[in-house]
Amino acid sequence: MDKKKVKIDQSACIMCGACVGSYPDDFKFSDEGPAEPVTGEADPEAADICAVGAISFEE
């Protein structure tokens, strides 16, 4: 699947690690804690794995 430009609502992120564990090439934990994109793009299916809906994609 083609990657798309990703946004993470860091105030909503509960640092559960689902995105980092499932998509380690796309997400990492920031120095402050919440997840952040590695390159700014990610697999769109990653939005489905976020427990709190913090991951969204630009159309």
Residue-wise pLDDT for 25-43, tens only, equals: 999 999 999 999 999 999 9
pTM for this prediction: 0.89
Per the DSSP assignment, residues forming a β-bridge with 27 are: 37
Of 7 and 1, the structure prediction assigns the larger pLDDT to: 7
Whether 59 shows a pLDDT value over 80: the answer reads no
**Domains in the chain, please, with CATH?**
4-57 (3.30.70.20)
Euclidean distance between CA atoms 36 and 7, whole angstroms: 8
Euclidean distance between CA atoms 30 and 42, whole angstroms: 16
State the burial class of residue 2 (Cβ atoms within 10 Å of its Cβ: 0-12, 13-18, 19+): exposed
Mean pLDDT, the chain, rounded, equals: 95
Whether 1 shows a pLDDT value over 70: the answer reads no
Report percent pLDDT > 70 for the chain.
98
Beta-strand (E) ranges in the chain? 4-8, 27-29, 35-37, 41-42, 55-57
